[in-house]
Amino acid sequence: MASPYEFRGKGSITLTLMMIELLKGRRKLREISSDLGITPQGASIYIKNLQKLGYVDSESTPTREGIAFLQQMLADISLFVEQAYRDSGIISSCEAIAGDDLKKGENVYLEMVDGLLYAFKKGSSGSQGIVTFSASKGDPVEVSKIRGIIKYRPGNLFIVRVDFDGYTSAGFRKLGEFHKEKQINFTGAFGVLAYKFCQRASLDVSIFAPVEGCIEASVKGLNSLLVYSPEMSRFLFKKLSENVDKYKINPKFTEL
């Protein structure tokens, strides 16, 4: 038998809504059924079920057990909604850089520029929103009531393995040339050897959360390069497996 705390269980959502209605105080069954979009007979059945579960008493007043049930259900639903928003990438508000002088309440178009989200008065983006407060061009601004999908093309994520045998002037030169050829915007070094390799190739490199940084950069439309050391291989593939499906990325493993 399904747990009553499993909000996706049969009738659990309606039981939760019924509990919320009963917490509003004494109301006629007809009013409750109208608000819930069910028949008075259906509402009566749900109340009887709540009484059998011990969630309301004979006067249809929520009990301590009923309040605990409601709290757990609301917590489960909140967690589900939070995960759904995160997994689907859907947002209702966001921060952006004002691409123009913007006024509160103004409609704006959201566009990704060099990995950063901008809000413009005019645009061809499929995503629009409303400015929450006035902001000058170049300042951060909050955009709410977002609708549509931001149109942008994900960048490439190149992954290069380096080793001690290649730690030579020729190896440094090849890495630098590859970086220039692929127009890399963000470089991450995973491992000490990888960091020194990038440093000798005169690359501006990040050593903090390099895998995650490269993934995020490519997701936001930038070309990223992840250079890793042999000893970091097992950690690299674990991190990639955790994020490839989530962010729909396609890493390109490359040899110099």
Separation of alpha carbons 214 and 158, rounded Å: 9
Q: Identify which of 127, 178, 124, 181 has the alpha carbon closest to the alpha carbon of residue 150.
A: 127
What are the structural domains, with CATH classification, of the chain?
12-88 (1.10.10.10), 93-147 (no CATH), 157-254 (3.40.1010.20)
pLDDT tens by residue, 107-158: 999 998 888 999 999 987 678 999 999 999 999 999 999 988 777 788 999 9
- Cross-strand bridge partners of residue 118: 97, 111
Separation of alpha carbons 29 and 194, rounded Å: 70
pLDDT tens by residue, 2-51: 443 454 555 688 888 899 888 887 678 888 888 888 898 988 999 999 99
pLDDT tens by residue, 202-228: 999 999 999 999 999 998 899 999 999
Apex CA 43: angle with CA 42 and CA 49, to 5°?
90
Cα–Cα distances (Å) from 189 to 64, 147, 243, in that order, read 55, 37, 18
Helices 64-88 and 12-23 cross at an angle (nearest 10°) of: 120
Element (H, E) at 95: strand 93-98
- pLDDT score of 79: 80
pLDDT tens by residue, 54-81: 999 988 889 999 999 999 888 888 887 7
Under a CB-based contact definition with an 8 Å cutoff, are residues 62 and 15 in contact? no
